Amino acid sequence: MSEPALLQKSPARLLSLDVFRGITVAAMILVNNPGDWGHIYPPLEHAEWNGCTPTDLIFPFFLFIVGVSISFALGSKKEIAADHNKLLFTAAKRAIILIILGLIIQSFRILLKDPAQVFPTLRIPGVLQRIAIVFFITVWMFLKTSTKTQFRTLIIILIIYWVIMTFIPVPGVGAANLEKETNMGAWIDRSIFTEAHLWSSSKTWDPEGLLGTLPAVSTGLFGLLVGKWLKRKDKDDAVKISWMFSVGFLAVILGLIWDLFFPINKALWTSSYVLFAGGLATISLAFCYWIIDVNHYKSVTRPFVVFGVNAIAVFFLSAILPQLINLIKVTTPGGIKLGLIPYAYQTFIIPYFSPVNASLVYAVTFVLIWLLILWMMYNKKIIIKV
């Protein structure tokens, strides 16, 4: 999962931002690939519904990073109004490619099992689809509006979303509510996409649904505003870092207060969740900036940089390649045919660890294999961009 190539051309790059992106992507690969979904340490799982685990922070951190990156990549280009349409066209093209890649990922497993079911059961919402929408809207906001308007839009979106989710009755259901199947977002997704094209684990609601993408835009704008602050030349590093820590802490507190009556919830992308996750992302970036760009502790940054610069490759390929590898079947001593990866997991990992540790060892091994591949790509200057 990576911000499109439009955001990777600016000479004004921050190593700390690349590292923060790489940490986020590596964490995403880790939590998306346990050895056994039935045996996972709690911090590596999403919250059941309300609440927030470290895993729940990965997606908003990435959208926040997309916003920060836009401010650095397009900062000087905003002043040339004649180029705006060209930049928006490029952003739209990148967004469309991301949407197509997301649909490919979601159709691939169906395609391998039953090609006839791809279109009847293809999930339409998804992670890359949401990133695409947030990316394009944030680029448009950056080019066409002022900082004050961007801040106001962020706040207005959060308030409007809170009103929609907690005050407006749900058609065919009754009073507004925040339950999985009966909230306004779930109703909109079923009405527009139908149950056949929603998340296969639920069919009645989708964690990347249409209405929840609205507050996700605020997460992108949050990052955009932090990036613009970090890019200012009239402030020294001490002031920048102090303000980022302060703003991040304040956002976390406001998110926790809002949580009392609009619970922090990743699947709904609630307004409290936007503030809470955005605050933690700001604090994390401030810490990375202080350690890496200010104090120049760079000796251990390379592993995360290689994940960051080829993030779209590792996200896409890590979802596709294991399914292709599992087409290779191996017969166990008991006569059972398994895909190559499950066979290796049962043969070389499960016998030596407890179930939950075996699951973790597999996930860590998966990340390390990709680290090796990405390191070789980085050394050969192979960077796959959208």
Report the DSSP beta bridge partners of residue 51. Answer: 265
Whole-number average pLDDT of the chain: 93
The one-letter amino acid code at 219 reads T
Could you tell me the residue ranges of all domains in the chain?
9-22+32-304
| Mean pLDDT of all residues in 171-188 | 96
| Mean pLDDT of all residues in 122-141 | 96
Q: Look up the pTM and report it.
A: 0.93
pLDDT of 20 > 70? The answer is yes
Which pLDDT tens digit goes with each residue over 196-220? 999 988 889 999 999 999 999 999 9
Q: How many CB atoms lie within 10 A of CB 191?
A: 11
Which pLDDT tens digit goes with each residue over 285-318? 999 999 999 999 988 899 999 999 998 889 999 9
Provide the pLDDT confidence category of residue 83 given band limits of 50, 70 and 90: confident
DSSP 257: H
CB–CB of 236/293 below 8 Å? no
The per-residue pLDDT for 305 is: 94
Euclidean distance between CA atoms 334 and 346, whole angstroms: 13
Which pLDDT tens digit goes with each residue over 229-276? 999 888 899 999 999 999 999 999 999 999 999 999 999 999 999 999
CA distances to 35, 91, 161, 182, 379 from 268, rounded to whole Å, are: 27, 26, 10, 12, 40
The per-residue pLDDT for 299 is: 86
| 70-84, 135-149, 249-263, range with the lowest pLDDT | 70-84
The per-residue pLDDT for 302 is: 93
In the chain, the largest separation of any two C-alpha atoms, in whole Å, equals 70
DSSP 208: T
Provide the pLDDT confidence category of residue 3 given band limits of 50, 70 and 90: very low
5 versus 372: the higher-pLDDT residue is 372
The per-residue pLDDT for 13 is: 67
Euclidean distance between CA atoms 297 and 284, whole angstroms: 16
| Mean pLDDT of all residues in 159-182 | 96
For the chain, state the CA radius of gyration.
21
Strands 337-339 and 329-331: antiparallel
The angle at the Cα of 317, spanning 203 to 350, to the nearest 5 degrees, equals 80
Residue ranges of alpha helices (H) inside 2-83 are 15-32, 58-73
Provide the pLDDT confidence category of residue 7 given band limits of 50, 70 and 90: very low
The per-residue pLDDT for 8 is: 42
The per-residue pLDDT for 9 is: 41
CB–CB of 1/128 below 8 Å? yes
What is the b/e burial string over 268-278, where b = at least 16 CB atoms within 10 angstroms of the residue's CB?
bbbbbbbbbbb
Which pLDDT tens digit goes with each residue over 320-377? 999 999 999 998 887 788 899 999 999 999 999 999 999 999 999 999 999 999 999 9
The one-letter amino acid code at 19 reads V
Q: What percent of the chain has pLDDT over 70?
A: 97
Secondary structure element (H or E) that encloses residue 329, with its range: strand 329-331
CB–CB of 216/269 below 8 Å? yes
